Amino acid sequence: METTPKYILKFGIGITFFVTGFLILLNPEGWALMIKPWALELLPVPAVSVMVTTAYFDMLLGIWLMIEWKSWISYALASLHLAMVLAVSGIDEVTYRDIGLLAATLALLISGKLPAKKKPEPFPTA
């Protein structure tokens, strides 16, 4: 069973991801402007297409962060995604909050339960 503070943290981050995805869908062109020019050159598709895909990813990840199913994977994906956002957008008056979200998702990842390793079966003795 999750502790109350951890549940509140997961829910808050999940809602943040979900709402961010929704906001991106409302104005993908505006959000595409946040991508630094060097990162735009690396994209194989238009930036608006990347933002629409990112919006759906954020919304799905937001839901996943709030449920109990392989939570550690959602924490890892959220951490990687936030690190990538900071890398391609830089730190400014909008993205500075992502530093705190990144720290929170990393804390969840570190405190999360990884899948248990199975112990090897001993050789049967006769």
End-to-end CA distance of the chain, in Å?
42
Parse the chain into domains and list their residue ranges.
4-111
Name 70's Cβ contacts closer than 8 Å, sequence gap at least 6: none
The DSSP code for 70 is S
**What pLDDT score was predicted for residue 116?**
62
pLDDT digits (tens, 9 = 90+) for 8-31: 999 999 999 999 999 999 999 999
123 or 38, greater pLDDT: 38
pLDDT bin (cut points 50, 70, 90) of residue 93 is: confident
